[in-house]
Amino acid sequence: MSFDLNLATVCNHKVFKESVTLDTDRRSLRVTQPLAASVVDVYASDNLVPKSNYSIIYDPASTVPVNQPRMISLNKRWRSTEDYFQVSYVTLRNFCPKCAGMGQVDDVSYNVRGDFLTVRNENLLMQNMEKFTVTELQSNPFQPFIGTNLVKLIGQRVVDTSYLTTKITSEISTTLNVLKSLQNQYKSTKRASTAGEQLDQIESVKVSFDPADPSILRADIKVRAVSGKSVDFTQLLKVA
């Protein structure tokens, strides 16, 4: 456990080829998330539409809660009734469907020599916290005891919010204690590990609904490493 692949990378908030519907005026295209930049690629039946054929303008009909919402406006009415449209664009961080506003995504990254980037110490502890939290319990046949039942919980219809937040808090606390137990077993074998990567104590697990989007639950987790440093981790969960 002294090193692991670095999975957290900075999110570019890029939405790739989102399917959109041409408006009844046969000129307007609206995407589901706010347009953060004017660099937009429009595809008609997989063919890239020249940028000179459209512009990004203010959308007076938008209901998205951002300043100056924008839309795509074709210079001329689109003649074909059989074409389908897709748009690639950059959205705002808080609306990004890839990172859910966290600013990072989990993906393998490389350095300039082509080697895998790795994490250690407190950064490794935080990554292990995330792995144990988001992994579905019993999904790994070799280590069925790792993970939580959060996927099943958040897939249910929310009737009792208090029960849901309490249950999620319990699930996270339980899996972090499993992580600590496994780390102690690993340490007892005399294999190398650092004080920064070892979990000493769970300081707090706070679960609440995001005030900006009631369909998102925030799990704010804080632990202390054996090194004495605190490690904070936030997991966003989409409620069905």
pLDDT tens-digit profile of 123-134?
A: 888 888 888 888
- Write out the residue range of the structural domain in which residue 173 sits: 120-238
Residue 113 lies in a domain: no
68 and 163 share a domain? no
Could you tell me if residue 161 is inside a domain? Answer: yes
Residue where a domain stops, chosen among 80, 95, 110: 95
Domain match, 129 and 234 both:
yes
Residues 234, 124 within the same domain: yes
- CB atoms inside a 10 Å sphere around CB 14: 14
**pLDDT confidence band for 1 (50 / 70 / 90):** very low
Q: How confident is the model at residue 121 (pLDDT cuts 50, 70, 90)?
A: confident
Report yes or no on 182 lying in a domain.
yes
User: Same domain for 127 and 174?
Assistant: yes
Q: How many structural domains are present in the chain? A: 2
pLDDT tens digits along 35-45: 988 889 999 99
The answer to whether residues 147 and 198 belong to one domain is yes
Q: Do both 127 and 89 map to the same domain?
A: no
The tens digit of pLDDT for each residue in 187-238 reads 888 777 889 999 999 999 999 887 777 778 888 999 999 999 999 988 887 7
More confident residue, 3 or 207: 207
Tell me: pLDDT of 172 over 90.
yes
Same domain, 86 and 135: no
Whether 197 contacts 125, CB under 8 Å:
yes
Q: Is residue 28 part of a domain?
A: yes
171 — pLDDT class (breaks 50, 70, 90): very high
Establish if 115 belongs to a structural domain: no
Inside any domain, residue 74 = yes
The answer to whether the predicted template modeling score (pTM) of the entire model surpasses 0.85 is no
